[in-house]
Amino acid sequence: MDQATLTRSIREVTAPSLRNYRNSRKVMTIKGQAIYVEDILKAALISRSNVLLLGSRGWGKTTAEHDIHDGIFGGKGIYVRAHPKMDERELFSHLNLGKYLRGEVGSSRELREVLEAIHNCCMVVDEITRLPGISQNRVFGLADGYIELDGVRYQIGNGYSILLASGNVGRGYDGTFALDGALIDRFPVIINMDDFLPTAKDDFLRLRSKHDPRVPKILNGERLDQSEKLKQVFAQLSEIKATMSVVIATLYLTHALGDCSKRGIPKLSIAESLPQACAGCSQLTKNCGHFMGVSGRSQESIINTVIALQQIAIAKHETATEAASAPHAEQPPPLVVDDMADVLEVFKTFFGYTGIVNSQHVVQKYLGNPYRFLSDIAAITQQEFIAQTDNIVALLRAYARSGGRLEVSEAERLVRPFTHDIPDGAGAAVRKNPWRFIGDIVGIQ
């Protein structure tokens, strides 16, 4: 799959804007391009990444869900509005399994016919934090793309399915249940909408629109089903291999940020004693004892999300470049290759609610805002990365030349092309800094 074909497919499937949700506040920068909430949602769709929208009531979480469910999947998905008394039977009733629940299925063939009703690839759980724990267990399967009945797993969506959920975390209103950590881990994209509220212009345009604010406009309009196109783009996107720089940057989030700087052991092994065990360590000033590294499950999610966002950025840049051909049109910013920065953007934006931060420290030092906390961690990481660039790239180049599996071009792309010789002591330098895990990759003992 060549880049031009993929970009054309992505532009086609993402061209329609969300019908009602409007938000022009920038969330992040990927490849030098401004990325907004709508871009993130579309990146999640093309990469089959589950999305959890958090935040206060009344700021568009449900509207965005409706826009995707009705305007992108033609209203053919499974829509569940959770409440504190919802049990498994009621949850299953939303999956059109009434016949099964009534005991009217007498054969395997009939069961398969019933299960065809869940071929829809979009599932929405509105207010998931109002779902009791026992019912949350059933959402595990939905998040992984299957439903389990009588010990048998049945695939949802014929190879493509996505779960959209919304909820309120830590706001304390009645009926809220804590989300299971393992369930949260199944949402690669978690956005606190309170951090990226619509601008005054967005609200002005929304208020000027002529429709009943109580009813999403799209419910009375055209429903567009792009599920087949999304499946095709997802298949195309799956063929893209992550660059070595994206992989190395992602591994840093686990094997460097996840290690105790003082002892050189995983923080998870001493988690119960943190941050007290960090007393006297100079790295505590960099918040080292107040967060964990990302989980092994999250590594692949980060890579897939970064690839999808980068492709969205490329498509946006091409669209903007074409529009800029008009007289007096503003030129779009150039595409920028900085994979480390892109990975850190994903990390700081989506991982504040995954359980890796010390919530008490965040409340005391960051006004309870984990996004601000991880933004500081990302900035420190970027500085450390720049300081060790020469040594890291030199080691990877040396590994490639010695017959390792890394391509020289991949090593050089870690940040920028390098032409200088390998500096003396590069291996020793890396062994003594947060990037020492690279020694495992290149075979340094």
- pLDDT tens, the chain, 445 aa long: 689 999 999 999 988 888 889 999 999 999 999 999 999 999 999 999 999 999 988 899 999 999 999 889 888 888 888 888 887 667 766 665 555 555 555 556 555 555 555 677 888 999 998 888 878 877 888 888 887 766 777 777 778 899 999 998 654 444 467 888 888 989 999 999 999 999 999 998 888 876 655 545 544 456 788 888 999 999 999 999 888 788 888 988 998 888 887 787 889 999 888 888 888 887 877 888 999 999 998 999 999 999 999 999 999 999 999 988 878 778 889 998 888 899 999 999 999 999 999 999 999 999 999 999 999 999 998 888 777 766 666 666 665 565 555 444 444 444 333 333 344 455 555 445 555 666 666 554 3
- Same domain? For 183 and 90 the reply is yes
User: b or e along 196-225 (b: 16 or more beta carbons within 10 Å of the residue's beta carbon)?
Assistant: bebeeebeeebeeeeeeeeebbbeeeeeee
- Same domain? For 231 and 255 the reply is no
- Same domain? For 273 and 381 the reply is yes
Residue 187's domain spans which residues? Answer: 3-237
CA–CA separation, 97 and 136 (whole Å): 18
- Angle CA(137)–CA(51)–CA(209) in degrees, nearest 5? 125
For residue 185, give the CATH number of its domain.
3.40.50.300
- Same domain? For 431 and 305 the reply is yes
- Same domain? For 144 and 196 the reply is yes
Residues 6+ apart with CB under 8 A from 57: 168, 173
Residue 280, helix vs strand vs coil:
coil
Based on its alpha-carbon atoms, the radius of gyration of the chain, rounded to whole angstroms, reads 23
- Same domain? For 255 and 396 the reply is yes
Backbone phi, psi, residue 152, to 5°: -110, 135
- Same domain? For 397 and 434 the reply is yes
Q: Looking at 237, 263, 292, which one is the last position of a domain?
A: 237
- Same domain? For 292 and 388 the reply is yes
Q: What is the pLDDT of residue 108?
A: 60
Number of domains in the chain: 2
> 86 with 123: CB under 8 angstroms?
no
Cα 107 to its chain centre, rounded Å, is 40
- Same domain? For 250 and 317 the reply is yes
The tokens describing 191, both together, are 């956005």
- Same domain? For 280 and 159 the reply is no
Closest Cα partner for 437 from 289, 246, 264?
Answer: 264
Q: Looking at 214, 237, 260, which one is the last position of a domain?
A: 237
- Same domain? For 189 and 259 the reply is no
pTM, rounded to two decimals: 0.85
Q: Looking at 185, 217, 237, which one is the last position of a domain?
A: 237
CA–CA separation, 275 and 273 (whole Å): 6
- Same domain? For 417 and 306 the reply is yes
